[in-house]
Amino acid sequence: MSELRKDLITGRWVIIHKEGRRTKKRLPSQSLAKPKDEKDCPFCPESISDIKEKELLSYRDQENRWSIRVVPDKFPIVDSEGELDKEGVGVVYDRMNSIGSHEIIIESPMHDQTLDTLPYDQLEKLIWAYKERFLKLKENKTIKHILIVKNYGKTAGGLVIHPHSQLIALPIIPKSINEELAGSKKYFGFHQRCVYCDIIYEELRKPKERIIFNNNYFISLVPFAPRFSYETWILPCTHNSSFENISDQEIKNLASILKDTLTKIKINLNNPGYNLILHSGPLKENYLPEYHWHIEIMPKLYRSTGYEWGSGVYINYTFPEKAAQLLRR
């Protein structure tokens, strides 16, 4: 027996299927990083890489040793300089040069750490760094949106082992964010309530079967209609559309729930690769009553069959209630 479930925000239907005889092949677990297993890691403090000169932000101790460091990506997917130049192509098409910022946030000076093994206070610093970069880039009126992305492990597209995330600031709103904005606007128009706030309220009712963790500030859960096995979202309990408005108390609590959730994923799923994406509203909006920033974590347990993103029909072989039960263990 399989069932179809509808994502409340985007309206996307997902096929949730009982694990059958034909299951997808499990991708390999990530091997734990060994200290300095890459001789020329560009992100280690002793690296002589040329990124040293172009530091965008760092947190340093009294001996000038950094704990968090933000540098431009060496091979950026957007250009950081120039004027935004939109033009029509032929009669119907549009293009623009891609002005923005593509940055690497080095999460620790230690090569062999992972996000879940970092101490709580280091994670706090990391979230502070995200916030600082958001606020700084917000001054640039060309930039419309910022994505924070983490690809952990080879199976998730991670290329460098040294713990890091990427920041991608673009002069457009990414499609997935636009879909969330449109869906949540529609819901708000109907109910005069934020759809994410309603999801949190609904999930906190007994029997809380999709919740992994919750504290006064954040909740981590497997969504009702997840695209991927063990997909996990972390949402702030207080309504807020823009990540950069995160409060000091929230930063403390996000560090804690993020570490705890990632630890559960690592232990219970045997250290899978994953993609983590921070979804936040458009930079020009300080407050949208209908939108709610959040984090989506997608463990990469199975190869996508390719037509899944091509067709928008996702097939998930793990019921979310079972997934949450296993992750809570």
Residues of this chain that bind a second copy (CB under 8 A): 1-6, 8, 10-13, 15, 17, 20-22, 74-75, 77-79, 89-98, 147, 149, 151, 156-157, 159, 168, 170-172, 174-179, 198-199, 202, 205, 224-225, 273, 275, 277, 296, 298, 300, 303-307, 309-313, 315
Closest CB to a second copy among 217 and 317?
A: 317
Closest CB to a second copy among 22 and 39?
A: 22
Q: Nearest approach, Cβ of 129 to a second copy (angstroms)?
A: 19
CB-based contact 123:259 (threshold 8 Å): yes
CB-based contact 232:220 (threshold 8 Å): yes
Closest CB to a second copy among 106 and 276?
A: 276
What is the C-alpha to C-alpha distance for residues 131 and 244, in angstroms, rounded to an integer?
5
Q: Nearest approach, Cβ of 59 to a second copy (angstroms)?
A: 25
Closest CB to a second copy among 253 and 292?
A: 292
Reduced to 3 states (helix: H, G, I; strand: E, B; else coil), residue 181 is helix
Q: Nearest approach, Cβ of 120 to a second copy (angstroms)?
A: 25
Mind giving me the DSSP string for 273-306? EEEEEEE---TT-S--TT---EEEEEEE-B---S
CB-based contact 30:73 (threshold 8 Å): no
Mind giving me the DSSP string for 134-149? HHHHHT-TT--EEEEE
Closest CB to a second copy among 99 and 109?
A: 99
Q: Which structure tokens are listed for 189? A: 């128009």
Q: Nearest approach, Cβ of 288 to a second copy (angstroms)?
A: 18
Length of the chain: 329
Closest CB to a second copy among 219 and 277?
A: 277
Closest CB to a second copy among 105 and 124?
A: 105
Question: Buried (b) or exposed (e) across 155-187, using 16+ Cβ within 10 A?
Answer: bbebeebbbbbbbbbbbebbeebebbbebbeeb
Closest CB to a second copy among 178 and 249?
A: 178
Kindly state the helix (H) or strand (E) to which residue 188 belongs, with its residue range: helix 175-191
What is the C-alpha to C-alpha distance for residues 123 and 120, in angstroms, rounded to an integer?
5
Closest CB to a second copy among 112 and 179?
A: 179
Q: Nearest approach, Cβ of 114 to a second copy (angstroms)?
A: 17
Q: Nearest approach, Cβ of 239 to a second copy (angstroms)?
A: 16
Reduced to 3 states (helix: H, G, I; strand: E, B; else coil), residue 111 is coil
Q: Nearest approach, Cβ of 11 to a second copy (angstroms)?
A: 7
What is the C-alpha to C-alpha distance for residues 192 and 185, in angstroms, rounded to an integer?
9
CB-based contact 256:117 (threshold 8 Å): no
Q: Nearest approach, Cβ of 141 to a second copy (angstroms)?
A: 17
CB-based contact 13:5 (threshold 8 Å): yes
Q: Nearest approach, Cβ of 40 to a second copy (angstroms)?
A: 15
Describe the crossing of helices 248-268 and 120-138 by its angle, rounded to 10 degrees: 120
User: The dihedral of CA 14, 18, 19, 21: what is its sign?
Assistant: negative
